Structure 1
Amino acid sequence: MKAKKMIINNIELLYIKNSNPNTFHLEFNFNAGYNHSQKSQVPHILEHLIATFPKETSEKFLRFGAYSNANTFYERTRFFITSPKEFSKECFDILVNSISKMPNYQEDFKIQKKIIETEITNKSIRPSIQIFEKALKETFPDIKDTKEHLGELGSINITDIQEFYRKNYTKNNLRIIICADFSDTELEYFIKEIDKINLPSGKAPIINLPAINQKDFSTLNNSKTVDEICKIFHTDQSLTEKERAAFYILMSYLFRPKIGKAFLRGRNTGILYGINFSPHLNTIRNHPFFVIGSKIKSENKNKFKKIINDEFSKVKNNKIDVQAFEVIKQNIKNSEKITRESTEKIVNFYREDFFTYGRVRNYQESLKILDTISIKDLTHIAKKILFLEKCDYKALRFYILIFPIRINKLKLIASNRNYA
């Protein structure tokens, strides 16, 4: 799988040459740092984006959704528009035209507002928006009834929309991801089309992608909650769909409440895991990683590392608590009913990341994959990750999350070969 990243008209385009899936994914990142009132406005602001999509064609080509990731170092809510079928010129044209039609003037804004109010009042919301509304209610559970919805919608004005776009463009939070097997001519067409997009509320600032690249190192400065260096063990081994599911169950098993309760309290607990983490490809998740670090106290950090190492060894040797394994699988099946208690964060993260990330998944089909996973699969994926502990230093890639750290300190870290 080859990836090509480029900035076109201040929008990040990530093209992944891949015949399957053949889709696109437009993503808005909503990061921490907004006050509560601004955060509550976001779903209503994005409703105006949806209102610009032509009803008949958008239902055929586009799907909308949202999910929230508030695990370890930063909190962010992502709203995405994705194509459920094969990516096409017609599909892309709908996307481009709708982005360009975000309201710049008060009269345009009033027209869109009336469309949304009518759909909410008459309960005739188009199917694609119903999907979006469901996702919003999961992400913002305080939006419950029609009256409250209309009340909050009424408080939004065009200035709020323009400010939202200004902040998001400035922070490089709008990206278009295309997964397809294009010829050079086809890709050139899409690049030219993106270049024609008229950004709302004037020309956006040039996107700055902060990354200090060293041999085997990359730094991220965008997390203000990190006050210690964290090590992310990362492998370039790609996973099958079943292995992806097994990986998340393994993480759920390793961080189950009996073991991880002391480390799972609060927003910045020092545990993070997922599929592929990179400052350049952080939305294409097909490689496993996990983190130990951040705000865990030093004495607890060492204790936690020992626990995880011991648990990994047990899993590798097929010594798994069968009852705990079955409970985790059952919790995932029932995850729609589980509240976001601290001891259930892992289950919720599994649901959000595995079931919904990046494309519209069929929940029942995903559960079928879940049902096929056995203890043997956990042992298999654990061995795949444990390979990292023995691999050559030069073959091991670290992403060091810093707040902020001097380059000479990076060199000092690089000279330290003890990664246990």
Structure 2
Amino acid sequence: SDKLSEITSMFFLVLVDLLNTTRCGKLLYSEVNTYSICLNNVIMSSTWGRSAWVFICKQIFACFTVKGFAPWLRHRLRLKPNRLSLMRLAGCLKTAKVRSGGPEAEKILLDFFIYLISKIISENPSETTRSAFPSGTTYKNSKTNFEWLVGVTDGDGTYHFSRTKKGVWSFTFKIAQSSYNLRLLYFIKSILGVGSVSVTNSKDNCAEYRVRNINHIIQYILPIFDKYPLLTSKHFKYTIFKQAILIMNDSTLTKEQKDHLISELKSQAMPNDYVSPAWQTIYNEVTTLDSAMKVMSKSWLIGFTEAEGSFYIVKKDPKRLVHAFEITQKLDIIVLEAIAKILGLTVTNKKTYNTVVTTKAERVEFLVTYYHKTMKGMKSLEYRIWARSFSKDNKNFESMSKVQNLMRNIRSIRLDKNFKIKCLQLRVRTD
């Protein structure tokens, strides 16, 4: 009788986080906001340190029927929604006529939940695109933000230059994400103050932050990566990229000389054993935690995790689900060795890649603490669901299954450039 009470509790928790994490401006950092609701049987708070859980009376859904809820939901989906406040959200779910149990009821609630997510996100585009921070707040001189940016770039960044058909060299610094994670890209734009965010029309539902203006690259991009070097082999590509830009900007060279020198740079191949010069301070060998931390800052690791890390729930046995964390790389094993030292994990060598991964409860508990209130993009939402379900339901198979399904559905959301939902693939567990 309490299946829907459990899943609804998690829905409330996630929706509170979404209200904080998808809106920018003063709501960019969810940890500084606290929402509390006392609505008969509902008590809610999104502050981690003050019992950030939802308690819903089990009898709320017990006396209602799925048949009565379906027409109400169809009616709601036809309406043009206004801004959804938490009070209105609580009222909607409280009056929803759903009877506990059964995949049909669960699917209807999940459908409604994803719909609300899309509306919360889509009703705040102007705040997000206009400005990510309140006026008077300066982030441009933040060392932690720059180190975080380098970590994200080591994971998902690209330095590209090419010659157009008209013989003009173009240069682009780019960071790509799923359109689901537009929030992270706008955060990067707010740090740098230049560039643009766009959503491609390709099937991969990719969104990009790009800087193409060569003067902006020289003024804003190069100084950051010179002061805070990349830790992966992407450093090689950055070095070539920087040299090409400086040649292009050299007024003492003729066009023919520039074309020749830049073409030579573009033809250079990275050595198979290339290691970022950043590791030379520890002689390219990670032996202890101290040696790892001399090169790899926590801010870098947070950024790299947002790009390459994964918080998920995996099946260990037919009736046992556990929390898991993983970061994989094809190259740069020295980076994984440093991550392993810092997080207390081990590096596992696979056929085509290397990985640090754990499902051990004691390591998961450490990771819950390590990543608490650190991430900027939508992975912070995935982390919260993951972390809180570990604290609450890590031994309950049914609850864990619902959380696993919930995380998969959240990741399926795709947005267009106006933060309107354009793709959603619901997955409902039927076993």
Largest Rg, 1 or 2? 2
Asked if TM exceeds 0.5, the reply is: no
TM bucket, shorter chain? under 0.3
Structure number with greater CO (CA < 8 Å, separation at least 6) is 1
Q: With the length of structure 2 as denominator, give the TM-score of the two structures.
A: 0.26
Q: With the length of structure 1 as denominator, give the TM-score of the two structures.
A: 0.27
